[in-house]
Structure 1
Amino acid sequence: MNFEYTDKVKQLRSQLADFMDEVVYPNETVYENQLREASDRWTVPPVMEEMKQKAKQAGLWNLFLPDSELGAGLSNLEYAPLCEMMGRSMIAPEVFNCAAPDTGNMEVLERYGTESQKERWLTPLLDGEIRSCFSMTEPDVASSDATNMETTIERDGDEYVINGRKWWSSGAGDPRCRFAIVMGRSNRDAPKHMQHSMIIVPLDTPGVKVLRMLPVFGYDHAPHGHAEIDFTDVRVPAENMILGEGRGFEIAQGRLGPGRIHHCMRLIGVAERALETMCSRVTNRVAFHKPLSDQGVIREWIANSRIEIDQARLLTLNAAYMMDTAGNKVAKKEIAMIKVVAPNVALNVLDRAIQSLGAAGVSEDFPLAAHWANSRTLRLADGPDEVHRNAIAKQELKAYTKVPVKQSH
């Protein structure tokens, strides 16, 4: 395994670092102020579109799409350090059109969509003209087991009829959000993992109703947001079905692998920024007649943070390498491992940073509290820790499963 950056990645990384310093970081406060001053929080701060245009002009656009003429043609391993850098800021992923859930939806459409679906939905997503959401989780069932979902997608002539309720449909609050990819049950009599399908549902379709926006630890994440949506007798053309009936879990596996590792890459960036914030603060603050950085416990926090971040980064790079060389299916254990490790490492480092800053750490003057709330959700999103740990253990135990010995006659 060779994790050294290619010349192409080194160039993009340098460009991206400069762009973050010159455009993104200085505008974080501008973005929040514009959002705060708007008459409606569910509008897009003008500075976001300004930054997106600058990113396009700089060629820092759609970097996430691997081996595709539509993106930068980067492998997962090549994209990792760039995604990490974007993760340092809550607003950065959207600036470069690399934000979830659009990235996952674009990958689905690019990989599984028809030419008509690509033209209508993928092209404007790639251009950053519209946004989208993904409706999978449901409030009335234990969604850690996705086979529990009860939303129905039933064929009726040249249409499909969707009925059900979804929540945590991230991005549905955005006024630019034009459609949801909805996963639901299309055939109860089929084998367990062939009962579900994914279908494109324009949000202005009759019967689609956003019931409420769900805050995360008090953060509404406007104008993006997380919605609870009711689908009542929603009719869409049969051509909106993705890949075919019963292919929902097949698509989900293709979608969630890259989605999970992208979250992990960004979380490494979150942890790095938290460590930088802590080191800067403790070097310049004096308590009990000496800098906080001279306190043994502070140094232990810093040392442990550096160790944990570097461990998590290497595990993330290894998972990316496995995805590139062996495929997402073979790399499922490595993906599960980093999906457990990365959020917990980020939370550990954020907690130490908050503690080292004292009251300032929980304020809006620093990004630590907002990053903590977001990172904590990622121990649940795309599968809770416990589900991933169970999958890892099952993989480990396979080698110890006794094979019955055939009797000789």
Structure 2
Amino acid sequence: MDFAFDARTEELRGRLLAFMDEYVYPAEAAADAQRAALASPWDTPAVVEELKAEARKQGLWNLFLPDEEYGAGLTNLQYAPLAEITGRSPQLAPTALNCAAPDTGNMEVLAQFGSEEQKKQWLRPLLAGEIRSAFAMTEPDVASSDATNIETRIEREGSDYVINGRKWYISGAMNPLCQIFVVMGKTDPDGADPRRQQSMVLVPRDTPGVEVRRAMQVYGYEDHYHGGHAEVVFHDVRVPAAHLIGEEGGGFAIAQARLGPGRIHHCMRLIGMAERAIELMCRRAVSRTAFGKPLARQGVVQQWIADARVAVEQLRLLVLKTAWLMDTVGNKGAHTEIQAIKIATPRTVVDILDRAVQLHGAGGVSQDFPLAELWAAARTLRLADGPDEVHQRSLARRELKRYR
């Protein structure tokens, strides 16, 4: 593979780096200040909408979607360094570019599997950044890392589907702009093939019986910029059969198609988070003195910074290789690498962020630096889209299979 970025990627990188310096980083403090004055913490600060308008004007919009009809038409390899840059400000930059989860995955699902009517009603407004969405799969009462365990029922009654179930950590659901849920449940719970029991349906937020019960915290944070993570209960929720995505029994396959790009996008952004941590470590090290000399001259600090740089370079190469494979042999052909980056990246970035927090002392756990919130986000990604152990189990089985 060629390690150089192509001309289009370099041009977009230049524009995006300038956008981050001129607009995003200065907006971080302003967004927090505006949010504190809002009537509801889930409302969107005005500066976020200003960032979205500027990003769209500059052509930095929907960069994640490879389908040229709907997005920028970038390959995974082209998008990787751009997503990394947005990871340096994960609360603002992905949203500003309309490249924030869970909307990205939901737009990919609708673009790939949605009907023309579903695309018109929901995909178009999502692409325009006019509404937000949520993906409702995880459940509190079962081990949702195994999607075949899901208990939410989606039952056909005449020309409708009726949904009953309880979900939690449904990202985006607290945002008032969230107007549509992609809900995964079982249409055939007794089916012979456990991977054909599930289906996905579109449920408008204002449908009777949809109860957004509470916001779930993540290490004490509520992730306001992503629309929070909610517990949602569906009580006899009735939607037209036309709201089915794809076919009955296709929910598991659609989820897997959604999660491949989602996993690598998370890893791309995590590298950006690690880069920001290294920058903050270096700035702290050269500006603070302890025991008579700058922290930058302390051996242990030098070791932390060197190890962080080595680790980030390793991760970036593995992520780029995975992106290249996804582009050339497809997600299935890159399965091992997707799992490898999902195991390695959050775990390593958590360690880098932990060292950065340590170097900042009390400031590292405070609201005066972004490190504590970045750490919480990175640590959560060891669970999101499948916990480490599930990916390790699957990857090990595939390795062992060659020797049996």
* Aligned position for 2:222: 220
Deviations 1:270-319 (CA, angstroms, capped at 9, x unpaired): 00000000001101111111111111101100110001111111111111
* TM-score normalised per structure 2: 0.98
% identity of equivalent residues = 58
| Structure-1 residue corresponding to 2:207 | 205
Q: Following TM superposition, by how much is the alpha carbon of 1:7 offset from its aligned partner in structure 2, in angstroms?
A: 0.2
| Aligned mates of 1:119, 1:38 — CA distance in 2 | 32
Q: Secondary structure at the match of 1:366?
A: coil
- Equivalent positions of 1:10-409 (< 5 A) are 10-89=10-89, 90-190=91-191, 191-222=193-224, 224-401=227-404
User: 1:37-87, CA deviations, whole angstroms, 9 ceiling, x for partnerless residues?
Assistant: 212112111111111000000000000001422211100011000000001
Alignment deviations for residues 222-255 of structure 1 (CA, whole Å, 9 cap, x no partner): 2510000000100001000000100001101110
2:199 partner SS: strand
Amino acid at match of 2:299: G
CA distance, structure 2, for counterparts of residue 149 and residue 385 of structure 1: 20
Deviation per CA, 1:162-221, whole angstroms, max 9, x where unpaired? 000000100000000001000000002321100000110001000000111001111111
Deviation readout 1:334-361 (Å, 9 max, x if unpaired): 0000001110111111011111111111
Q: What one-letter code is carried by the residue in structure 1 that aligns with 2:13?
A: R
Amino acid in the other structure paired with 1:204: D
Tell me how far apart the structure 2 counterparts of residues 186 and 3 of structure 1 sit (CA, whole Å): 46
> Which residue is equivalent to 1:405?
none
Quote the offset at 1:3 in angstroms.
2.7
Rounded to whole Å, the distance in 2 between the matches of 1:212 and 1:351 is 30
CA distance, structure 1, for counterparts of residue 309 and residue 13 of structure 2: 21
d(CA) in 1 for partners of 2:190, 2:210: 27
Alpha-carbon displacement from aligned partner over 1:110-146 (angstroms, at most 9, x marks no partner)? 0000000000000000000000000000011111111
Secondary structure of the residue aligned to 1:328 is helix
- Gapped regions of structure 1 (runs ≥ 5): 402-409
Unmatched runs of 5 consecutive residues or more in structure 2: none
CA distance in 2, matches of 1:331, 1:365: 40
Once the two structures are TM-superposed, the CA of residue 4 in structure 1 deviates from its matched residue by 1.2
What is the CA–CA distance in structure 2 between the aligned matches of 1:280 and 1:176, rounded to whole Å? 38
Equivalent residues of 1:133, 1:169 under 8 A apart: yes
Structure 1 Cα separation of the partners of residues 323 and 295 of structure 2: 38
Aligned partners of 1:163, 1:188: CA distance in 2, in Å?
Answer: 13
Runs of 4+ aligned residues of structure 1 deviating over 4 Å after TM superposition are: none
Aligned residues: 401
Shift of residue 330, structure 1, vs aligned partner: 1.4
AA aligned opposite 1:271: A
For normalisation by structure 1, the TM-score amounts to 0.97
Deviation at 1:17, TM superposition (A): 0.1
Question: For residue 87 of structure 1, what is the amino acid of its counterpart?
Answer: G
For 1:80 and 1:157, the matched residues in 2 are separated by: 45
Q: Which amino acid aligns with 2:96?
A: V
Q: After superposition, give the CA deviation of every residue in 1:346-391 in whole Å (9 maximum; x if it has no partner).
A: 1111011111111111111110001001111000000000001111
CA distance in 2, matches of 1:42, 1:254: 30
Structure-1 separation of matches of 2:315 and 2:344: 7
The CA distance in 1 between the partners of 2:61 and 2:43, in whole Å, is: 23
Instruction: Give the whole-Å Cα distance in 2 for the aligned partners of 1:34 and 1:333.
Output: 44
Equivalent position SS for 1:143: coil
Distance 1:27 1:159 in 2: 45
Secondary structure at the aligned position of 1:356 is classed as helix
Cα distance in structure 1, aligned partners of 2:85 and 2:224? 22
The letter of the residue matching 1:181 is V
Whole-angstrom distance in 1 between the partners of 2:189 and 2:236: 19
Task: Identify the residue that residue 406 of structure 1 maps to in structure 2.
Answer: none
* Cα distance in 2 for residues equivalent to 1:214 and 1:400: 44
